[in-house]
Amino acid sequence: MTSRREFIKKSALATVGTMLIPNFLKGFEQQTFAFQQAPSQGKILIMVQLSGGNDGLNTIIPFQNDIYYRERPTIGIKADKVLKLNDEIGLNPALESIRGLYDNGLMQIINNVGYPNPDRSHFRSMDIWQTGSCSNEYLKSGWLGRYLDAQCTGKCEPHAAIEVDDSLSLALKGLKVKGMAVQNPAQLYQQTQNPFLEKLAKVNHSAFDNVNYLYKTLSETISSADYIYEKSKVYQSKATYPQTDLGKRMKTISELINSGVQTQVYYVSHGSFDTHVNQVNQQERLLKQYAEAVSIFMDDMKTNGRMDDVMVMTFSEFGRRVKQNGSNGTDHGTANNIFLMGGKLKTDSNLMQAPDLQNLDEGDLKYKVDFRNIYSTILDKWLQTDSIAVLGKRFEGLGFV
């Protein structure tokens, strides 16, 4: 039987230890399932989140629609500046760096994406996108976390999904398995190479269920940090990435992929796109940063023969209202567009249909494509898992894979 003195000593040690563990070490909890390599034939998904609600109408621009210019007299992108994709729509000129991806069949745009009974709250709508839930459901696990759950038996490694950040998004949190937040592999490794933390990780804690998961998290974080750091030294990208936050994060992902790290999902965020005031300059700056970082990343994948192995999906929690506000900005809206990029895409022009600006829902765009149809396609055809097991029911797939 454990003595009271020993219990107090160990409890105090655990308390001190948790204070020393940074946020990025807390991204995943107890893992008791082992990761079995998903039957994805080496396919990798990279999720890019445009945080804050990117204005889709000024991203994919319906330059032939008079209603667009009538409702946006000062922030509408002039037709002669639009990078035209067809007779109806074109890219914001800030996206010039990814125009070549579209021209070469490596980019699919899907317009009018949303969900029934949309929510205009940043936090709630992002929860809906990250969990893959209905607007009246409140789930504690993310859709990619449940994908991890579906692939795991035995002892699961948290680096199966990595968010390049200092905290973990709900999207990567499963019921049994959670991904891992890593901003910088070398820094993570250095911060875990602390003799006190190593000693703490080896403490016999089986008698104390209330702190068991903290010890196990610490132990597995140290192990994963060592694995990621050692693997990350295999390949250093020679590409010149922009020195923006997103550029640095996309470079990190490239180096991890090309170093052979066994990770199926990567996740990054960019923004904020919450452009209520003076939208044009802010959005164009952020879109340019996005396009430059992703363009270099895709070139890096091509150079290293990995273009066919990756799919990049870019989304935002909602679009903006059709009519500009009185501050030369836009307010929270509903349906939006998403981008898909990769070497194995099947492009479908029907998915790019311009939004119907004559048929609005109280000033907002009506969605035509449920975002879970996109998730379902990625799960079934790209990650090769059962989308029903992850999403809870069947959603009609799309033809981009």
What are the tens digits of pLDDT across the range 4-35? 444 334 433 333 333 344 444 444 333 433 44
What are the tens digits of pLDDT across the range 208-226? 555 665 556 666 666 667 7
For tokens 């470079």, the residue is 251
What are the tens digits of pLDDT across the range 114-171? 999 999 999 999 999 999 999 999 999 999 999 999 988 766 777 899 999 999 999 9
What are the tens digits of pLDDT across the range 251-267? 999 999 999 999 999 99
* pTM to 2 decimal places: 0.86
Among 82-91, 113-122, 175-184, 372-381, the minimum mean pLDDT is found in 175-184
For residue 80, the one-letter residue type is D
Query: Quick one: pLDDT at residue 198?
Result: 62
What are the tens digits of pLDDT across the range 286-312? 999 999 999 999 999 999 999 999 999
Tell me the average pLDDT across 78-95: 98
Binned at pLDDT 50, 70 and 90, residue 77 comes out as: very high
What are the tens digits of pLDDT across the range 224-254? 677 787 777 788 999 999 999 999 999 999 9
Query: Quick one: pLDDT at residue 389?
Result: 96
Query: Quick one: pLDDT at residue 40?
Result: 41
| Percent of the chain whose predicted confidence (pLDDT) is above 70 | 80
Q: Which fold has domain 30-195+222-391?
A: Alkaline Phosphatase, subunit A (3.40.720)
Query: Quick one: pLDDT at residue 232?
Result: 76
Query: Quick one: pLDDT at residue 258?
Result: 94
